[in-house]
Amino acid sequence: MHGRALGFAILLLLALSSPVWAQEKAVDNEGHQWWQNAVFYEIYPRSFADTNNDGIGDLPGITSKLDYLHWLGVDAIWIAPMFPSPHVDWGYDISDYYNVDPDYGTLKDMDELLAQSKQRNIRVLLDYVATYTSDQNKWFQESKSSRANPKRDWYIWRDGKGPGQPPNNWTSDFGGSAWKYDPATSQWYYHYFYPPQPNLNWRNPEVEKNMFDVTRWWYKRGVAGFRLDAVDVMFVDSQFRDNPVVDDKKNAFGDPVEREINDKNQPELHGVLQRLRKVADEYNAVLIGETWTNDIAQLRAYYGQGGNEVNMPMDFMFTMVNKLSPADFRKQIQWVDSSGGWPVYVLSNHDIRRVYDRYGDGQHNDQIAKLMASLYLTLRGTAVMYYGEEIGMENNDPKRPEDVKDSMGKVGWPTEKGRDGERTPMQWNDGTNAGFSTVAPWLPVDDRYKSYNVETEKKDPNSILNYYRQLLAMRHTNKALLDGKYIALNEDDPNVLSYARMYKGKSVLVVLNMSGVAQKVNLDLASKGMHATTAKTLLTSFAAPSQVNTGAISVEPFGAWIGETE
Ligand code: NOJ
Ligand code: CA
């Protein structure tokens, strides 16, 4: 072989065998990077697949399902925390950032998962829980050991207002005061979430250095990015001022409702995100934000100036549209689409009830699952799926307080039952425990699993699973769906949400009937500069002709029709 060719061949081999993605910086014609054209899929590791049959999902379980994910059309997975943890908050309380929890396997299993994913061109993102650690983390143990410990200032310690009184009125998101007294050193430490989740003090430069090193270490191992947990509460007011109390109402935990102006969204967090992004850029990695925002201005801030912060801040306001309301969705899509950043759509996750429950009417739930899939997977932007949505899993909420695993549900029962319902085991087949495990899983399998599971749905061409698969395939190949502009259509229609995705004179048309009544839709294309009168059907959730007249598209109750102008 010619010297240069040999060199190239060696480089290529190295690139293929190394789990690191840093070499690939390719953009498409529109300047879009890999993550803009990708479909992401969130995996809750405890509930995905159990290979050693202890009732708990594990990393080899994820590895064993990579072929399935590849078949489905997933480009990247985000694995919720799999680090060592006492599991007070099921992994969102990390005791060691440099290892894998024995429940889930070993670092070797992680390396195998990374290597196997790379072979299938699937990127792996981990969860970056950097706002707080577990109280079992050795950093906190040191910090707690004495006021003089060099790591004392790594966490937020304060004197009380008076005997038995916390430093201020801030409440925890999971109930009660956000301060916990430590009798050994006679000070209080701050925890926005559970008491065993002490917040790190990000004003201390050593914290920043150490936490940034965590990301470098994982990037070098082959991780392609992180989902950034709870960034909005990374900083608190440097003067520790009380939050204003809204009125005398109480929340689900019986605490006063506060306006969280001093314990949330402090401007300093953007500096950290910018610097964290610089590190990510060195590895061509991507950052997804758990970015709860009240309005578009706050969301826009997470993208940063010229896009120098979070690549993909998830728009949770979209998940707050909790009814099938075309008007509300239209408004939300319009806002995000015009925010200047690349939109990121999500419908459910391990904290947000499943689509089947939130939008289902109890009668047309399968149709509605396809309708919602057709929405977030055809918009301009990246979609983040949640495991099990593709087979129409529903929430399986605990019925008795003694069954609750999520501490939020333990504290808040019965008003707040917690999030176990959306975290139940993935349903792989119609066998014992839905093929998740041979023993009783850590959370009960939904009893609809006999019909709603991967194996059964694979065989049914009209299943929710096959609908998702076709949608994903279409998204990957159709230029208008990847790069096309979002154009709202028929904006006064109270029942049907319609839009076009226009790219170089070709348009994909999406017509979503959000009502329980059949509709005939006359798409007003002319007012948007489109002149097609007929369109080819690309995908529908009901039996539709292969060609339609754009002036009279019939859509069944809760039906979705997707077509292309000719
Ligand atoms: C955000 C995570 O998504 C959620 O599951 C967790 O309970 C909170 N962070 C607090 O740790
Ligand atoms: Ca296991």
Q: Look at residue 247 in the predicted model and tell me its pLDDT.
A: 82
The number of the ligand 1 atom at minimal distance from the alpha carbon of 349 is 3
Span of 11-15, 188-192, 241-245 with lowest mean pLDDT: 11-15
Paired sense of beta strands 547-549 and 225-228, if any: unpaired
Asked if the model's pLDDT at residue 16 lies above 70, the reply is no
Interval between CA 230 and ligand 1 midpoint (Å): 7
282 is catalytic: yes
**CA nearest ligand 1 atom 6, residue:** 92
CA angle 449, 450, 454 (to 5 degrees): 70
Q: Look at residue 7 in the predicted model and tell me its pLDDT.
A: 57
DSSP string, 128-170: E--SB--TTSHHHHHHHH-TTSTTGGGB-EE--SBTTB-SS--
Q: Look at residue 134 in the predicted model and tell me its pLDDT.
A: 98
CA–CA separation, 327 and 425 (whole Å): 35
Residue 442 CA: which ligand is closest? 2
Interval between CA 483 and ligand 1 midpoint (Å): 33
In whole angstroms, what separates CA 46 from the centre of its chain? 16
The helix/strand/coil state of 337 is: helix
Interval between CA 405 and ligand 2 midpoint (Å): 17
Residue 441 CA: which ligand is closest? 2
Q: Look at residue 252 in the predicted model and tell me its pLDDT.
A: 85
pLDDT in tens, 380-402: 999 999 999 999 999 999 999 99
CA dist 59 → 47, 222, 386, 429, 435 (Å): 11, 15, 17, 20, 16
Cβ proximity of 447 and 427 under 8 Å:
no
Interval between CA 515 and ligand 1 midpoint (Å): 34
pLDDT in tens, 231-250: 999 999 999 999 999 988 89
The number of the ligand 1 atom at minimal distance from the alpha carbon of 92 is 11
Paired sense of beta strands 286-289 and 225-228, if any: parallel
Residue 56 CA: which ligand is closest? 2
Residue 50 CA: which ligand is closest? 2
The number of the ligand 1 atom at minimal distance from the alpha carbon of 229 is 1
Please identify which of the residues 109, 135, 229, 258 carries the catalytic annotation. 229
**CA nearest ligand 1 atom 11, residue:** 92
Sorted by sequence, the CB contacts under 8 Å of residue 234 that are 6+ apart come out as 130, 131, 202, 266, 269, 272
Q: How much is the mean pLDDT over the chain?
A: 95
Asked if the model's pLDDT at residue 336 lies above 80, the reply is yes
pLDDT in tens, 103-146: 999 999 999 999 999 999 999 999 999 999 999 999 999 999 99
Altogether, the residues listed in the chain come to a count of 566
Q: Look at residue 5 in the predicted model and tell me its pLDDT.
A: 59
Q: Look at residue 22 in the predicted model and tell me its pLDDT.
A: 56
**What residues pack around ion ligand 2 (CB closer than 5 A)?**
50, 52, 54, 56, 58
Cis omega (within 30 of 0) for bond into 414: yes
Please identify which of the residues 282, 403, 460, 566 carries the catalytic annotation. 282
Interval between CA 250 and ligand 1 midpoint (Å): 22
Q: Look at residue 220 in the predicted model and tell me its pLDDT.
A: 98
**CA nearest ligand 1 atom 5, residue:** 351
Please compute the mean of the pLDDT values over residues 292-305 and round it to a whole number: 96
Q: How crowded is residue 250: how many other Cβ atoms within 10 Å of its Cβ?
A: 10
Q: Supply 210's token pair.
A: 């150490």
pTM: 0.96
Query: Predicted confidence band at 29 (pLDDT cuts at 50, 70, 90)?
Result: confident
Cβ proximity of 491 and 40 under 8 Å:
no
Interval between CA 455 and ligand 1 midpoint (Å): 31
Q: Which of 193, 194, 406 to mutate to test the pocket of ligand 1 (most atoms within 8 A of CB)?
A: 193
Asked if the model's pLDDT at residue 566 lies above 60, the reply is yes
CA–CA separation, 72 and 65 (whole Å): 11
Q: Look at residue 3 in the predicted model and tell me its pLDDT.
A: 54
Q: Which residues line ligand 1 (CB under 6 A)?
A: 89, 92, 193, 197, 229-230, 290, 350-351
Please compute the mean of the pLDDT values over residues 333-343 and round it to a whole number: 96
Please compute the mean of the pLDDT values over residues 259-286 and round it to a whole number: 97
Q: Look at residue 1 in the predicted model and tell me its pLDDT.
A: 47
Q: What are the residues facing 79 on neighbouring strands?
A: 43, 126
